[in-house]
Chain A
Amino acid sequence: MLIRFAFSVTGTAKFLSHLDLVQVFARAVKRAKLPIAYSQGFNPHPLINLGPPRGVAVAGFCEYCDMELKEDMYAEAFEKALASAMPRDIKVFAAKTADKKQGALMAIINAATYEVEVENAETAFLDEAIEKLKNAEHIMCQRTHPKKGVRTVDIRPYIYDLQRQGDGKIFMEVAIGNNGNVRPVDVIEAFGIDGLKATEILRTGLYIRDEKGNKLKP
């Protein structure tokens, strides 16, 4: 059976890479003696699938993970066992059974919300920049690919929402994944404010967004 749960990554754990995180879960599962299924083949590994990677130093409030179990068990019991075996800054919650037919987390999740704390910008300038971006038809962003070189992409269609929340805090909802990907730093750079710096980036949610703009939890 497939169990899906949410987890938060805060504190210094936000510096763990995607692969580091997979390993943390693999060891936790063993400590918790959970009946995880293994892949076939020469070097069997536990069937753990994480959602899209967060990016360096980005904390996550509501990330997702799928685990394939070889025995059935109640999701609540699973959550309790796993939670007790996790290191300090990673918390698991909202475990439930999931439908494999839905597809892998990285494939179905296509939107994310972020809270970005910034410094070196006056409120008035921020508001002005946000207004300009919302009204823009195109926002060009340069991406450097290790093999494909430098490409320029238009990220405007993939920014669904952008607002200032209090002093020095920006909220955004953007596309992520293979059909359009926007990183918070891309948006901050697009503000075009000299010296604007993001001091803290927090991914507050991951969603499956439909054409009408409705956001569903995976």
Chain B
Amino acid sequence: MAKKVTQHILTKEIEQDLLPYINKPAQYLGGEFNSIKKEWDTVKARVAFCFPDTYEIGMSHLGLRVLYQVVNEKHDYLMERSFAPMTDMEELMRAKEVPLFSWESYTAIKDFDFVAFTLQYEMSYTNILNMLDLAGLPIEASARSEGPIVIAGGPGAYNPEPLVDFIDLFVLGEGEEAIIELLDLWMKVKAAGGNKLDYLKAATAIEGVYVPLFYKPVYAEAGKLVGMQNEPFAPPVIQKRLIRDVDNVSFPTDGIVPFTQVVHDRVMLEVMRGCNRGCRFCQKSMEVLLEQADKAIAATGYDEIGMISLSTADYSCVGPLIDELMARYAKEGVSVSLPSLRADAFSVSLAEKVQRVRKSGLTFAPEAGSQRLRDIINKGVCEADIMQAVASAFAQGWNSIKLYFMMGLPGETLDDLEAIAYLTKDIIHKAKEVRPEGSKKPINITVSVAVFVPKPHTPFQWYGQEKAENIRKRQSYLRDLFRSIKQARLVCHDSPLSFLEAVFSRGDRKLNQVLKRAWQLGCKFDGWSEHFDLEKWNTAFRECGIVPEDYANRDFAKDDYLPWQHMSSGVSVKWLWHEWEKAKQALVTDDCRHGKCSGCGVCTAVGCDNIYLNSAEK
């Protein structure tokens, strides 16, 4: 006998009391082309995917599209989307008592069986708390004995500790398979009459799943973290979930076409997964990519294909792939863009291919100004590579490019900062040299300098961020250097924001109370400069008796137990430490695609190997 499904549909309230009175109502509508609306009583489990930022930002997120397709493909399950309402909408929602809803059917989020957040960025965490509250759910996991199970995944899951009070379950690694397993398990537990606790216990058996309830941090005297004690049925270390064969994974060619201009308004072709720093996984084959591009253009009507991966030019078939894409789409007015490029793989022919339809922006990421510093971070490009890449671009007619750098890198000196200015000057000089005759537009280089934030599971996880005061001084130094460089525009990223990122990225459980207090004081949309309020954060830290510098600037010792040590990315900690030692001496490690294996442990840990698609490369 089917139990009647509780579904509070808020269409009337939203259409009459909210939408006519707010900015850009188009971002809250649902019903977009390729969106999927299933009838609630035809499915057995329902997931609300909640992106902790606005619609315009969330709709560019590839992960959402993948999971949306994977879950909705299943006959018994559905997934609907939700996003953070903008402040004017939120104010009205609270005034009119309209709780957070899903876009597809305007159903109250609290009616779903699962609420799934993606952890993209530490400064979106207050939005997570805010969305739970807007949904009418208690923000603390311990206060939620009934109602949806709140799960989270994405890059932030690699160190989930600052959020454990609020999330029931984390998924480490790629979620496509895990989410179905979680739903299947839920059906099983429900059928057997189990409750939430039964479910969470059973879920610990799924690879990649972390249920913080079953883990307790162990402190020694003076409050130092020395270990994590797990319940016997929960694994002591959580292994990251990995998709072994990316070609066969469901790829969202029928992406939802948003109603508004979103951050990335184009078809996104996921060329490669994995980071470049010594960890490399299988790459997608060209045939599959072309097929996906075909379907995606046909299904969405976009006029631009963005090839995404951390460094697209590394994908071994990128030249031939671009050729093929251009051949097929140029006459339809579809252009191809490459979001960010390693300078060493960019070349004249690539530049030429990409610019044929419509010139999109070009971004290069030298990251550091001097070769010494580039070696420290193992960025395998040299000045010659950079100059050649830039020369290709300007020779092909580009007039403006963007350069990404980081400051606050380990071992950085003022000379390294000066090197950024010199490099920029050299680039401008080169540009003037190679530009086509009669170029009228002025040369325009945007130099964007971010503050380095040490991240867990990288060789720099033991390194504390440079003190805020020093960062400010160095930014000032850079500004002075750039004052005289006319064709360049220096953009320095907000250092208080980077400071907070550094606090949370290597944070531990003690930060949960700070997060809660900051949200209570009104912090949200921290990643948006118009909303970020450092004073409120400082108050939150003070009231909780926590000194944020203790987190952001702290160096860990080799034998310290790290707050994320129970989460495994597959890369061995010994190897990471070895890399850190090498970095301190500015020694480089070969890219395991071209050079010898350096023994990072990933291939054995997850059972895969590098596969080369273009045999000429090996």
The chain A residues found within 8 Å of chain B, CB to CB, are 11-13, 15-17, 20, 23-24, 26-31, 33, 38, 44, 56-57, 85-89, 199
Residues in A with CB closer than 8 Å to B142 are none
Contact (A15, B33) CB under 8 Å given A27-B302, A31-B298 = no
Cβ B29 vs Cβ A16 within 8 A:
yes
Given contact pairs A31-B33, A44-B333, a sample of 14 additional A-B residue pairs in the complex whose CB atoms are under 8 Å apart:
A12-B15, A12-B30, A15-B25, A20-B26, A20-B259, A30-B297, A31-B298, A31-B299, A31-B300, A33-B298, A56-B20, A57-B20, A87-B35, A88-B37
Cβ A29 vs Cβ B301 within 8 A:
yes
Bound-complex Cα distance A199 to B17 (A):
10
CB contact list, B2-32 vs A, under 8 A = 11, 15-16, 19-20, 24-26, 28-32
Residues in B with CB closer than 8 Å to A33 are 298
Bound-complex Cα distance A16 to B19 (A):
10
Bound-complex Cα distance A109 to B495 (A):
56
A34 shortest CB reach to chain B, Å: 10
Cβ A15 vs Cβ B26 within 8 A:
yes
Q: Which of B28, B29, B31 has the most CB of A within 10 A?
A: B29
Cβ A38 vs Cβ B33 within 8 A:
no
CB contact list, B23-64 vs A, under 8 A = 24-26, 28-33, 35, 37
Q: List 27 A-B contacts (CB under 8 A).
A: A11-B31, A12-B19, A12-B31, A15-B15, A15-B28, A15-B29, A16-B26, A20-B259, A23-B261, A27-B300, A27-B302, A28-B33, A31-B298, A31-B299, A31-B300, A44-B333, A56-B20, A56-B25, A57-B19, A57-B25, A85-B33, A85-B301, A87-B35, A87-B259, A88-B31, A88-B33, A88-B37
Residues in B with CB closer than 8 Å to A89 are 31
A-B contact count (CB 8 A): 71
Contact (A27, B33) CB under 8 Å given A16-B26, A20-B259 = yes
- In the complex formed, the residue of A with least CB distance to B299 is A31
Bound-complex Cα distance A118 to B486 (A):
62
Residues in A with CB closer than 8 Å to B257 are 27, 87
Residues in B with CB closer than 8 Å to A28 are 33, 301
CB contact list, B318-363 vs A, under 8 A = 332-333
Cβ B300 vs Cβ A38 within 8 A:
no
Bound-complex Cα distance A157 to B358 (A):
51
Residues in B with CB closer than 8 Å to A24 are 259
Bound-complex Cα distance A57 to B29 (A):
12
A154 shortest CB reach to chain B, Å: 28
B455 shortest CB reach to chain A, Å: 37
Cβ B31 vs Cβ A27 within 8 A:
no
Bound-complex Cα distance A29 to B303 (A):
11
The chain B residues found within 8 Å of chain A, CB to CB, are 11, 15-16, 19-20, 24-26, 28-33, 35, 37, 257, 259-261, 297-303, 332-333
A86 shortest CB reach to chain B, Å: 7
Q: Which of A11, A12, A13, A30 contacts B301 (CB 8 A)?
A: A30
Contact (A30, B303) CB under 8 Å given A12-B19, A20-B259, A199-B16 = yes
Cβ A87 vs Cβ B301 within 8 A:
no
B260 shortest CB reach to chain A, Å: 7
Cβ B303 vs Cβ A87 within 8 A:
no
Residues in B with CB closer than 8 Å to A27 are 33, 257, 300-302
Residues in A with CB closer than 8 Å to B33 are 27-28, 31, 85-88
Cβ A12 vs Cβ B300 within 8 A:
no
Bound-complex Cα distance A87 to B28 (A):
15
Residues in A with CB closer than 8 Å to B298 are 31, 33
Residues in B with CB closer than 8 Å to A44 are 333
Bound-complex Cα distance A159 to B31 (A):
35
Bound-complex Cα distance A184 to B333 (A):
41
Bound-complex Cα distance A44 to B24 (A):
26
A21 shortest CB reach to chain B, Å: 9
Bound-complex Cα distance A210 to B29 (A):
38
Residues in B with CB closer than 8 Å to A56 are 20, 25
Bound-complex Cα distance A95 to B407 (A):
60
A42 shortest CB reach to chain B, Å: 10
Q: Which of A17, A30, A199 contacts B26 (CB 8 A)?
A: A17
Residues in B with CB closer than 8 Å to A13 are 29, 31
Contact (A38, B333) CB under 8 Å given A20-B259, A30-B301, A87-B33 = yes
B266 shortest CB reach to chain A, Å: 11
Bound-complex Cα distance A87 to B30 (A):
10
Cβ A16 vs Cβ B303 within 8 A:
no
Bound-complex Cα distance A15 to B24 (A):
9
- In the complex formed, the residue of B with least CB distance to A24 is B259
Q: Which of A38, A44, A88 has the most CB of B within 10 A?
A: A88
- In the complex formed, the residue of B with least CB distance to A89 is B31
Bound-complex Cα distance A27 to B303 (A):
9
- In the complex formed, the residue of A with least CB distance to B256 is A87
Residues in B with CB closer than 8 Å to A23 are 259, 261
- In the complex formed, the residue of A with least CB distance to B259 is A20
Residues in B with CB closer than 8 Å to A26 are 301
- In the complex formed, the residue of A with least CB distance to B22 is A15
8 closest A-B pairs by beta carbon, nearest first, are A30-B301, A27-B301, A15-B25, A31-B301, A88-B31, A12-B29, A87-B33, A57-B20
Residues in B with CB closer than 8 Å to A11 are 31
Cβ A15 vs Cβ B303 within 8 A:
no
Residues in A with CB closer than 8 Å to B35 are 87-88
Bound-complex Cα distance A56 to B360 (A):
34
- In the complex formed, the residue of A with least CB distance to B16 is A199
Bound-complex Cα distance A57 to B26 (A):
11
- In the complex formed, the residue of A with least CB distance to B15 is A12
B458 shortest CB reach to chain A, Å: 40
Bound-complex Cα distance A26 to B299 (A):
13
Q: Which of B19, B37, B297 contacts A15 (CB 8 A)?
A: B19
Residues in A with CB closer than 8 Å to B30 are 12
A108 shortest CB reach to chain B, Å: 28
Bound-complex Cα distance A129 to B37 (A):
44
B606 shortest CB reach to chain A, Å: 39
A18 shortest CB reach to chain B, Å: 11
Bound-complex Cα distance A56 to B30 (A):
17
B574 shortest CB reach to chain A, Å: 51
- In the complex formed, the residue of A with least CB distance to B303 is A30
A57 shortest CB reach to chain B, Å: 4
Bound-complex Cα distance A213 to B299 (A):
45
- In the complex formed, the residue of B with least CB distance to A88 is B31
Residues in B with CB closer than 8 Å to A199 are 16
A48 shortest CB reach to chain B, Å: 13
- In the complex formed, the residue of B with least CB distance to A197 is B16
A200 shortest CB reach to chain B, Å: 8
- In the complex formed, the residue of B with least CB distance to A90 is B31
B296 shortest CB reach to chain A, Å: 11
Cβ B259 vs Cβ A16 within 8 A:
yes
Residues in B with CB closer than 8 Å to A15 are 15, 19-20, 25-26, 28-29
Residues in A with CB closer than 8 Å to B11 are 12
- In the complex formed, the residue of B with least CB distance to A58 is B20
Bound-complex Cα distance A145 to B487 (A):
41
Residues in B with CB closer than 8 Å to A17 are 24, 26
Residues in B with CB closer than 8 Å to A86 are 33
Cβ A20 vs Cβ B260 within 8 A:
yes
A52 shortest CB reach to chain B, Å: 19
Residues in A with CB closer than 8 Å to B24 are 17
B111 shortest CB reach to chain A, Å: 19
Bound-complex Cα distance A87 to B259 (A):
10
B335 shortest CB reach to chain A, Å: 12
B571 shortest CB reach to chain A, Å: 42
